Amino acid sequence: MTDAISALGPLSEYIPHTNLTKVQEKVIPSLINSQQNVIVAAPTGSGKTVLLEVAMLRLFRSRLLCLDGGSAPDSTTLGTRQKAVYICPIKALANEKYELWKEKFPRLAVIIETGDQEREKLDRDSLTSVSEADIIITTPERWDSITRRWKEKTVMEVVHSVGLLLLDEIHTVHEERGAALEAVVSRMKAIGSAAQSTEIPALASAGARFVAISGTLPNIRDF
């Protein structure tokens, strides 16, 4: 086990890699030891998915330690239950991550919510599913349709519970479908800023961490 992975403690068993790539060795310490936003541009085969998983393990650390130890998590131990939202522009990729993570994280509620990209209405079933999930796998268009109603009470509760936003294929922000992704990123940043200045204690610590990955990102400073 490498030093980078050993920092996860008991949760290192979720990352059964003995030989990390150079990218993983460099980025994992930042993912584990800080709450800073992270952007990684690296070629296919660099192990970027593992980076997303490490970020999730940091977010769900207390919850998973309780569950793996056979204890029922409670509000005293965990505080506000937070969610991770994984956003990618390709449904096939979303399906792939859903199958991977529901098997890797059986104790967490993993859902896929891509929906019909032409449908803007967030129905009750979808809202219930999103509300009860720990890990939400979705597309920019679908998350845009959900978060644009963030001032509604039920949607606000979901949005403010997002502690981690995972963005895959972020180079698409400069492509035809990039408007939805750009809108999502801007909105989530604005929501985080608004939450930090609120006088409502339950929302005072809100604000998602962003972890973004791409195989190519020529204008990384523009993101």
The answer to whether the CB of 135 falls within 8 A of the CB of 153 is no
Name the CATH architecture for the domain at 4-214.
3-Layer(aba) Sandwich (3.40)
For residue 159, the Cα-to-chain-centroid distance in whole angstroms is 12
Distance CA 26, CA 6 (A): 14
User: Residue 73: what pLDDT?
Assistant: 52
User: Residue 77: what pLDDT?
Assistant: 42
Predicted TM-score (pTM) of the model is 0.86
pLDDT in tens, 91-121: 999 999 999 999 999 999 999 998 754 444 5
Distance CA 78, CA 160 (A): 16
DSSP, residue by residue, 36-91: --EEEE--TTS-HHHHHHHHHHHHTHHHHHHHHTTPPP-HHHH-SPPEEEEE-S-H
pLDDT in tens, 34-89: 999 999 999 988 999 999 999 999 999 988 888 766 555 554 444 457 999 999 99
pLDDT mean over 170-180: 79
pLDDT mean over 1-27: 83
User: Which class for 114: exposed (0-12), middle (13-18), buried (19 or more C-beta within 10 A)?
Assistant: middle
What are the domain boundaries of the chain? 4-214
- Please determine, for residue 205, whether its predicted confidence score (pLDDT) is greater than 50: no
- Please determine, for residue 222, whether its predicted confidence score (pLDDT) is greater than 80: no
Radius of gyration of the chain from Cα atoms? 17
Distance CA 12, CA 49 (A): 15
Distance CA 187, CA 8 (A): 31
User: Residue 149: what pLDDT?
Assistant: 80
pLDDT in tens, 121-167: 556 667 788 889 999 999 999 999 888 887 888 888 888 899 999 99
